[in-house]
Amino acid sequence: MVRTTAAGTSAGPVVLGVGEPFRGDDGAGPEVVRRLRGRVPSTVRLIERVATPTDLIDRWDGAPLAVLVDAGRSGAPAGSVRRLDLAELAAAPSGGSTSSHGLSVRDAVELGRCLGRLPERFALFLIEVARTGTGQGLSPQVEEGVEEAARRIARELESALAPRSPGV
């Protein structure tokens, strides 16, 4: 399903990478989005790097599906990939898995909810980091997690975009 926003722009599914590629494993989100190029239909908007929570809201506004990809720490093994929907994100303990950015993705979702600007469907893929110091490049564990996340997101988008039979 492709909708049109009030501004008249196409509002198909969007995948948003959150993170800073110059901070080691924090660049996992943008890297996943890079790896999706050529693996998903052209109706999917791929945005490698989102700078602020308000930018997230602007980018997912009107989308039938928004997929965010971010790096975080929750105590799981490095490279682990966890998928959360809106309900799971809201129920997650605030002191647990968090973003390395000023406002968390959870804060952006809450702000979007207050503004009435949430996508119809939402998924957050978190990749557990090993290191976030300065410098480019992902640790080997996070490199594996990035590829796993890209595969899972591609499958989810394929399913979301599959034509539905009437009455199903």
Domain count of the fold of the chain = 1
Residue 38 belongs to domain with CATH number: 3.40.50.1450
Give the integer Cα–Cα distance in Å for 166 and 66: 24
Give the integer Cα–Cα distance in Å for 77 and 87: 24
pLDDT given at position 9:
45
pLDDT given at position 167:
62
CA distances from 9 to 3, 4, 32, 118 (A): 8, 6, 25, 17
Give the residue ranges of DSSP H helices in 9-51. 28-36
Residue 11 CA from chain centroid, whole number? 16
Residue whose pair of structure tokens reads 């600007």 in the numeric block: 117
Residue 35 in domain: yes
Who contacts 92 (Cβ-Cβ below 8 Å, separation ≥6)? 84, 106
pLDDT given at position 132:
82
pLDDT given at position 53:
77
Residue 168 in domain: no
pLDDT given at position 6:
43
Residue 70 in domain: yes
Q: pLDDT averaged over consecutive 10-residue blocks of the chain (168 residues)?
A: 42 91 93 97 93 86 94 93 88 53 75 91 95 89 97 95 73
Residue 156 in domain: yes
Residue 167 in domain: no
Domain holding 48, by residue range, is: 9-161
The radius of gyration of the chain from alpha carbons, rounded to an integer in Å, stands at 15
pLDDT given at position 3:
41
For the whole prediction, is pTM greater than 0.75? Answer: yes
Residue 15 in domain: yes
Strands 10-11 and 65-72: unpaired
